[in-house]
Amino acid sequence: MIGDVRAALAIARKDIRNLSRYRIAVASMAFTPLYQFVIPAFLFGAAFAVNGRATGLTATLGTDDLTGFIFLGGVVAGIVSTAFWGMAMSIRNEMDMGTLEPSWLTPTSHEMFVIGRAIGGMLFLILTQAALFLFGILFMGLRLRPEMLLALPAVLLALLSMVGIAYLLAGIVLLIREANFFIDTANFLFVTISGVSFPVTLLPGVLQPIALALPTTYAVDILRVQALGARPLFGVGIEYGLLVAGTAIAYPLGRWAFARAERTMRRRGMLSQY
**Residue 272 pLDDT more than 70?**
no
Q: Cα 202 to the chain's mean position, in Å?
A: 21
**Residue 45 pLDDT more than 80?**
no
pLDDT number for residue 181: 86
**Residue 115 pLDDT more than 80?**
yes
pLDDT number for residue 274: 66
CA distance 13 to 18: 9
Do 19 and 93 contact (CB within 8 A), yes or no? no
**Residue 239 pLDDT more than 90?**
yes
**What whole-number percentage of the chain has pLDDT above 90?**
19
**What whole-number percentage of the chain has pLDDT above 70?**
97
**Residue 215 pLDDT more than 90?**
yes
pLDDT number for residue 14: 83
pLDDT averaged over every residue in the chain: 85
The highest-confidence range among 30-44, 82-96, 97-111, 180-194, by mean pLDDT, is 180-194
Q: What is the mean pLDDT of residues 86-108?
A: 77
Between 220 and 14, name the one with better pLDDT. Answer: 220
**Domain positions in the chain:** 2-273
Residues 6+ apart with CB under 8 A from 2: none
Diameter of the chain measured on Cα atoms: 64
Do 86 and 121 contact (CB within 8 A), yes or no? yes
| pTM across the whole model | 0.88
| First-residue to last-residue Cα distance in the chain | 27
pLDDT number for residue 241: 94
Do 138 and 33 contact (CB within 8 A), yes or no? no
Q: What is the mean pLDDT of residues 170-186?
A: 84
Q: What is the mean pLDDT of residues 153-168?
A: 91
* Residue (of 245, 254, 258) closest to 173 by Cα position: 258
pLDDT number for residue 157: 92
Q: Cα 258 to the chain's mean position, in Å?
A: 18
Do 218 and 151 contact (CB within 8 A), yes or no? no
Do 132 and 74 contact (CB within 8 A), yes or no? yes
CA distance 253 to 251: 5
Q: What is the mean pLDDT of residues 202-210?
A: 89
pLDDT number for residue 219: 93
**Residue 211 pLDDT more than 90?**
yes
Do 211 and 131 contact (CB within 8 A), yes or no? no
